[in-house]
Structure 1
């Protein structure tokens, strides 16, 4: 005699179908919101410069001023607008300033899906500068951008005239990658996390993170409105930034033993209150690794010295230019 039919099987099937429907609706809503968020961000903060094609790859650049060429390379989670808030215009009084968006950030698209290394980024930006006639510029790189500038100096020593690492990530460190970056750089969780963040996280969360990076200095008035936090929350940008951040320590570990070959004038700036890129881990050793490098420690300054002490940054660029025979 067969057992009576179970009511639990149809109920479980119905529950499973409802769950699948709910997940499908969540996915559709997430993708719609992410696309809408990205569209609003790009409408509010459109490209501020022009696009230069480098071997078919677009690079977003902003140029101003005249004089010796000076290339500005921004940090993680950012774009060239960080420099055009104030510093670039001031430097343009006596330099030909070229600010570039790094691959995957701002309006320079990603180079593939694997996260461009600091060496690959340096090569792309070097060729972009060369197409603009800046064959041997002074390089100023902030934070992650400082690592890219160092990779440029190591791998293309004849394609720069001077180097200004600004709170630059330059030497290996021991701390683990944060949970946020472990998640967003994960092979399959990362794209999902990027979509969810883009769709559901408001721009003010980025603004709060920016405040932490500026500490102990306050964020300048109108900085967030200029910088474009919504650009940081685009899916491709979140993903590329995470992959770059996950790989940089290993890349610096391979690079830092070659700093002794850098022969151009080097002017290093770093705040002693920087809790994002530590002075003792990065710039103090860097000053010993490059013969003739000069380190200026900015007392009480955090991770954004180009906003906290603009005078010191301009003076460092002037010293590098003078030492290079450009002024």
Structure 2
């Protein structure tokens, strides 16, 4: 019996060693096909990837879970550079921004909180000369945008929130995040996912996020989904998502008294990823200056499904903040 256990352990170790080599090759391929498209800012030893273009009032864009700044540069950002200086960031562990010190590694089970992520990006923004920005966040990025406002209420002109996580939710977020966010899953399942995830599965995952709409033509190839399948990014994403709720509980208690800047909230009523009734409707009631726009029949990607309404919300935020 003991020998069987030993041989099983050796077999598992050999399998993981083989997966590590294959995973490294797949990660290299992902980075070659989707290299950085912005510039790097060093924040106390942590490298932050930022895309900057345009002129005008500063507009910061923060992407959601499992994504990167390419979600914005695919289409939306270029439509804004004629009247805003647009700064899109990769969040910690995703795209090409490194994780904060103390996070990462096979024994880590905690993810960077929205407040910690916002603080890192605020330091990077300061190095880029950003002053009193409008901060837009999508999905998980909306929680980071809210944290940005909480960290620096007097230096945040306005917030624009797209299908954003903002309030506590019932239940858990699914087995995938439980596995990729755990120490055991990070060491065993994550390398397998990196190696075995097929192109069809990647495309289906993207399609699921857009439902009931379809991804725009060329989006799947452009976004760089394989970057999210890198082991460190899978772990970072899982850890951040699975540990998010307690941070949201604490943050939500501060909204009413501390977020006094204009806030434009855009949310589709067909969003099943971040439900409207749990997040944006309560948020609009918590905020003195919150304005909610509900998009009929739109899912979790309003900036792609209805860019005109998204841009109009940004322009309203700028006007309400006295930037225009």
| Conservation of the 8 A alpha-carbon contact between 1:73 and 1:142 | yes
Number of aligned positions between the proteins = 316
Superimposed CA distance per residue, residues 135-194 of structure 1 (whole angstroms, 9 cap, x where no aligned partner) = 210000000000000011112112211110111000001122311111111222322211
The correspondence for 1:224, drawn from 220, 223, 231, is 220
Distance 2:8 2:188 in 1: 18
Distance 1:85 1:220 in 2: 10
Residue 105 of structure 1 aligns to a residue in which SS?
Answer: coil
Instruction: Return structure 1 stretches of 4+ with deviation > 6 angstroms.
Output: none
The 5-angstrom pairing of residues 107-122 of structure 1 reads 107-111=96-100, 112-113=103-104, 114-122=110-118
Mapped pair 1:67 → 2:72: no
Equivalent residue for 2:15?
26
- How much does 1:16 deviate? 5.9
Equivalent residue for 2:272?
275
The correspondence for 2:31, drawn from 18, 42, 51, is 42
| Conservation of the 8 A alpha-carbon contact between 1:66 and 1:95 | yes
- How much does 1:259 deviate? 0.6
Distance 1:122 1:290 in 2: 20
The 5-angstrom pairing of residues 185-196 of structure 1 reads 185-196=181-192
The 5-angstrom pairing of residues 131-210 of structure 1 reads 131-210=127-206
Distance 2:58 2:241 in 1: 28
Equivalent residue for 1:4?
none
Superimposed CA distance per residue, residues 83-124 of structure 1 (whole angstroms, 9 cap, x where no aligned partner) = 000000001111000000000000001112231111000101
Superimposed CA distance per residue, residues 257-314 of structure 1 (whole angstroms, 9 cap, x where no aligned partner) = 1111211111110001101001111101111111021111111100000000000000
Equivalent residue for 2:290?
293
| Conservation of the 8 A alpha-carbon contact between 1:147 and 1:169 | yes
Mapped pair 1:129 → 2:109: no
Larger gyration radius, structure 1 or structure 2:
1
Residue 188 of structure 1 aligns to a residue in which SS?
Answer: helix
TM-score by length of 2: 0.94
| Conservation of the 8 A alpha-carbon contact between 2:16 and 2:191 | no
| Conservation of the 8 A alpha-carbon contact between 1:170 and 1:252 | yes
| Conservation of the 8 A alpha-carbon contact between 1:126 and 1:159 | no
Between stretches 202-211 and 215-224, larger displacement belongs to 202-211
- How much does 1:24 deviate? 3.7
Residue 31 of structure 1 aligns to a residue in which SS?
Answer: helix
- How much does 1:29 deviate? 1.6
TM-score by length of 1: 0.93
Distance 1:47 1:82 in 2: 13
Mapped pair 1:85 → 2:74: yes
Residue 171 of structure 1 aligns to a residue in which SS?
Answer: coil
Distance 2:75 2:273 in 1: 22
Equivalent residue for 1:5?
none
Distance 1:203 1:22 in 2: 28
Between stretches 264-273 and 106-115, larger displacement belongs to 106-115
The correspondence for 1:262, drawn from 243, 259, 281, is 259
| Conservation of the 8 A alpha-carbon contact between 1:76 and 1:145 | yes
Equivalent residue for 1:239?
235
